[in-house]
Structure 1
């Protein structure tokens, strides 16, 4: 299964990605987490893994990838970075560290002022996800940057399902409408994960969402998770809500 996790900034999507990856591994799955957020430096720490080199460097670096794309103008879609399908074992170990059954790839980070847009990384990760061949026990979790720009890059086109993390904020609730619309336009199921909730705001959020059946998990506010994130520590919490989340996904 190939999952894409999205949400507004600060909603906790990287935390959910890390919790989900760890929970799936405990259930016997092999998990690859793909970090596509060029400005997020916390996900790898939540997984307890050192930040790997930019996966873009394997293809010559961001500048080389961009040049290859520009040379094909206007037929950008003809550019291919993968001649064959890849499996987990084909991923170069230097770019894909592993801990406790969870593998991590970082597509690329912003390292310098003026180095340009993240479009090359978007095209690369779209093709990478599309060319991955999975065994039945393998799961890919793609953690996106905040907002919905990744939809414009087409990252979701090769996913099996989309998880949107919604925190108790007006902005997050409004964004859920657009995510549902965009997901529907490409025929992808979208599931909502309510995060940092208590009894009062959870009820309001469920009542406000148009289709309550798409809410597959509600994660209570947890000060230990917040503190771990603040300290940049590995997440060790095992939540029953996360187990219910992936079990529901597998059933659907």
Structure 2
């Protein structure tokens, strides 16, 4: 399952993404965590040092090699230079699994604590005034387009804050999106904006309340987000210490908040992966990007990269990866 954490800046989405990634890893599941936020804090939230994140090779820096690897011998893609962030897989493309050995992971994925982590990289001084942050998360979008997650495997992505995710098609790449929401009007405003866009694309969205002090906070969220409210995290001494850099064992997390992590996991596991929808959205956003800028940039009609007979999912993935699909 591919899982996104979104929400207003400061809502706690990075903290909850880290907690869920650690919880799933502790359960023995293959997990890949990706920091796709403009503020790169997931490594620290997982228990690493600030220097740890800086030592990771950002996915964006490996993008040319990533394109060459994922292209494989797909006859619809003449060269890696013609691949863009929305290029979908087709016959001949290389697909990747959550936990495997490949050149992308070898270059960009490292363990922070027990969790395998990849990062987009921070927005640097060289980027100011000349680059958009979404150019960095393009590497994440391309990777997710080619990633096959099997049962009991998880990708946890800490997304950029607010509704900025809608500047690309990345928001449609997930099986379940958790929107972390504080009991404030500003946080609820982000929920309304995100939910309005997400429903147009059938995005499976659940709200996780955070920084809950008392029942009135829960009532406030119920009033404003309704049935989308899945669960909530109470004010936590453990989380407060973790946000100051002292990330302790998960066993030290308050019992009520451990229940929240189980609730998130159960919700993800109960989500049905809609491979036809994932494929359809990938093709749709590729057409949009081709028309908006990519055809002009590459000098070719990139819509020809779409393989109408290729459907992402267990059966074609098994064929590409040389596995035997389940019957």
What secondary structure is seen at the aligned counterpart in 1 of 2:136?
A: helix
- The answer to whether the 8 Å contact 1:24/1:31 transfers is yes
2:134 and 2:58 mapped to 1: Cα distance?
15
**What are the Cα deviations for residues 125-170 of structure 1, in whole angstroms up to 9, with x where unaligned?**
1121121112212100111111111122111222111110001211
Listed as ranges, the gaps of 5+ residues in structure 1 are: 62-70
Partner of residue 225 from structure 1, selected from 208, 214, 239: 239
Structure 2 CA distance for aligned equivalents of residues 130 and 76 of structure 1: 11
Report the Cα offset of residue 172 of structure 1.
0.5
Q: 2:87–2:142: 8 Å Cα contact kept in structure 1?
A: no
Residue 85 of structure 1 is matched in structure 2 by: 95
SS in 1 for 2:223: helix
Distance 1:77 1:55, change over 3 A: closer
Q: For the structure 1 residues 76 and 20, does the alpha-carbon distance in structure 2 shift closer, same or farther, using more than 3 Å as the test?
A: closer
1:249 to 248, 251, 268: 268
Asked whether 1:205 is paired with 2:192, we answer no
> Is 1:81–1:124's contact at 8 Å kept on the other side of the alignment?
no
Partner of 2:187: 172
- 1:21 paired to 2:37: no
2:261 and 2:185 map into 1 onto residues whose CA distance is: 24
- 8 Å Cα contact 1:20/1:242 also seen in 2: yes
| Greater RCO, CA 8 A, separation 6+ | 1
Whether 1:54 aligns to 2:70 is no
Equivalent residue runs for 1:54-73 within 5 Å = 54-60=58-64
**Once the two structures are superposed, what CA deviation does each residue of 1:84-137 show, in whole Å capped at 9, x if it has no partner?**
211232232341112454210001211224252113223221121121112212
Structure 2 unaligned residues grouped into runs of 5+? 66-80, 272-327
1:195 to 203, 207, 210: 210
CA RMSD of aligned residues (A): 2.4
Evaluate the alpha carbon distance shift between residue 46 and residue 236 of structure 1 in structure 2; reply closer, same or farther with a 3 A threshold.
farther
User: Which contiguous aligned blocks of 4+ residues in structure 1 show a shift greater than 2 angstroms?
Assistant: 75-83, 90-94, 231-238
| 2:36 is aligned with 1:39 | no
Distance 2:124 2:205 in 1: 33
Q: Normalised by the size of structure 2, how large is the TM-score? A: 0.66
Q: Return the match for 1:240 from 247, 259, 271.
A: 259
Q: How many correspondences in the alignment?
A: 237
Q: Highest Rg: 1 or 2?
A: 2
Partner SS for 1:123: helix
